[in-house]
Amino acid sequence: MTAAGIRNPGTPLQRELIEDIVVNRSAAERRAATLPGRRTVKKQWQAAWLLRAIQCIDLTTLSGDDSPSNVQRLCAKARQPVRRDLLEQLGVEHIHTGAVCVYHQYVKECVRALEGTGIPVAAVSTGFPAGLSPFEQRIEEIHRSVEDGAAEIDIVITRAHVLRGEWNALYDEMAAFREACGEAHVKAILATGELGTLTNVARASMVCMQAGADFIKTSTGKEPVNATLPVALVMCRMIRQYEAQTGVKVGFKPAGGIRTAKQSLDFLMLMKEELGDPWTHPDLFRLGASTLLSDIERQLEHFATGRYSAYHRHAMG
């Protein structure tokens, strides 16, 4: 998903460019470490940024015990992510989350529940989270989710292609997934915690963008290590390089392990510093999260009332 709704058309694979990419891990970690302490926002400015973070959340449930009832609750929460009385105290009429993200089985249910809201449904696909099911089956899974009404498809790449440096294979896989998505926007999940090095993360990011990914996403949320600021920094630098080369803006989605309001602000500050204001809006930035919203609501209630509240005051739906 790109600015003004323009899709990323992709480019031919540029192997020389990919193989020239090298990341200095120490430098990336030092730069990322400066963000949480150097940039802080307080009071009404913090409240405004937290409201923006809510608008960028892909509200997610990807559990083995998902059921129609908790998916319906998720959709209700996406439609009304903050209690009405709290919004009134903040002087805000209405907001909603950036999307709802579910397994294919619940796409139709979500589309019905969100009809008329403008909230897109995102489906995880291609053998999520491992991405090791037969290729034809992964393509068919995309087709079925699009037919059921998913406006966004979160695909997972084959990590072995990255670990072996098989850039042509990764490019062809990503291009096939992009084609199967049709008009649905495609987010490429790199599973960065399983790619070994930041150089691999950078190279995989660039290959996926060249193959037409509309977003690049850190993680499935199922890996031992998920979204981190150094990884996000590297991926953002690749997005910036790709825009400089092609003029096309590609979105970014950190996902997995983002549970606190402070973490959401750290990622928003990274977007603003590295990529600019367009990447602080939901058409180019998403936060994949399931428990983050409750902590953001608690912080907003503290701003509005001066008191911290219990989590049960901010129910799912």
Per-residue 3-state assignment (H helix, E strand, C coil) for 22-81: CCCHHHHHHHHHHHHHHCCCCHHHHHHHHHHHHHCEEEECCCCCCCHHHHHHHHHHHHCC
Look up the CATH number of domain 3-313: 3.20.20.70
203-257 confidence digits (pLDDT tens): 999 999 999 999 999 999 999 999 999 999 999 999 999 999 999 999 999 999 9
Radius of gyration of the chain (CA): 19
In the chain, which residues have pLDDT < 70?
1-5, 38-39, 316-317
Residues with catalytic roles: 154, 217, 253
pLDDT of residue 41: 81
Minimal CA–CA distance to 300: which of 31, 46, 16, 72? Answer: 46
Rounded to two decimals, the pTM is 0.95
Q: What share of the chain is helix, strand, coil (3-state, %, to 5)?
A: 55, 10, 35
Residue type, 36: P
pLDDT of residue 5: 61
Minimal CA–CA distance to 59: which of 114, 3, 133, 116? Answer: 114
**Cβ atoms of residues 275 and 252 within 8 Å:** yes
Q: How far apart are CA 7 and CA 85, in angstroms?
A: 38
pLDDT of residue 39: 64
